[in-house]
Amino acid sequence: MDAVAPSTYLQPPERADDATIQRQAALLADSPTVDRLLDALPDLVFFFNKQRQIVRLNRAAYEFIALIHGDCRLGLRLGEALRCVRAREPPAGCGTTVFCRACGAARGVGQALSGVYAVQECRVLRDVDESALDLRVWVEPFDHRDEHFVLAVVSEVSDEKRRRVLEKIFFHDLLNTALGLRGVSERLDIVPAEDHDRLHRVMRQLTDRLIDEIVAQRQLSAAESGDLVTRRTEVSALETLRALAEEYTHHPSGRRRVLRIAGDAVDATLQTDAALLGRVLGNLLKNALEAVGPDGIVTVTCGPHEGGVRFAVHNPTYMEPEVQLQIFHRFFSTKGAGRGLGTHGARLFAERYLGGHVLFESQRSTGTTFRVWLPLR
pTM of the model: 0.57
CA 343 to chain centre: 7
Q: Residue 2's pLDDT is what?
A: 44
The CATH number linked to 183 is 1.10.287
End-of-domain residue from the set 229, 256, 277: 229
By residue range, what is the domain housing residue 358?
232-377
Residue 148, domain CATH: 3.30.450.20
CA gyration radius, the chain: 25
**Is residue 1 a part of any domain in this protein?**
no
212 and 236, same domain (yes or no): no
Q: How many domains does the chain have?
A: 3
SS3 label, residue 273: coil
What values do phi and psi take at 73, rounded to 5?
A: -95, 150
CA gap 331, 339 in Å, rounded? 6
Query: What are the two backbone dihedrals, phi and then psi, of residue 369, each rounded to the nearest 5 degrees?
Result: -130, 125
Contact 214, 229 (CB under 8 A): no
Give per-residue pLDDT as tens, 262-314: 999 999 999 998 988 988 998 899 889 989 988 999 999 999 999 999 999 99
Residues 150 and 178 in one domain: no
pLDDT tens column, 41-59: 999 999 999 999 999 999 9
Q: What is the pLDDT of residues 28-41, one digit of tens each?
A: 987 778 888 899 99
Calpha distance 53→80 (Å, rounded): 10
The predicted model gives 222-241 an average pLDDT of: 86
Residues 6 or more apart whose Cβ sits within 8 Å of residue 223:
345, 348, 349, 352, 353
Examine the domain organization and report whether 325 and 375 are in the same domain. Answer: yes
Sheet holding 357-363, edge to edge: 258-261, 297-305, 308-315, 367-375, 357-363
At residue 149, φ and ψ (nearest 5 deg) are -130, 175
Give the integer Cα–Cα distance in Å for 18 and 362: 43
Residue 144 shares a structural domain with residue 188: no
Rounded to 5°, the CA angle 260-266-272 comes to: 95
Most confident of 129-138, 158-167, 356-365: 356-365
Residues 108, 191 within the same domain: no
pLDDT of residue 369: 96
Task: Give dist(CA 314, CA 301) in Å, integer.
Answer: 9
For residue 346, give the amino acid letter.
A
CATH number of 328's domain: 3.30.565.10
In three-state secondary structure terms, 275 is helix
Let me know whether 80 and 131 are in one domain: yes
- Termini Cα distance of the chain: 47
Say if residue 5's pLDDT is above 70. Answer: no
Q: Is the pLDDT score of 339 beyond 50?
A: no
- In angstroms, the Cα distances linking 175 to 167, 206, 220, 337 are 12, 12, 19, 18
Question: Is 258 a member of any domain?
Answer: yes
- The pLDDT confidence band at residue 337, using thresholds 50, 70 and 90, is very low
Is residue 295 domain-shared with residue 212, that is, in the same domain? no
Same-domain check for residues 196 and 264: no
Same domain, 212 and 262: no
Q: Which residues pair with 369 in a beta bridge?
A: 314, 361
87-143, pLDDT tens digit by residue? 988 899 999 999 899 899 999 999 999 999 999 998 888 887 666 788 999 999 999
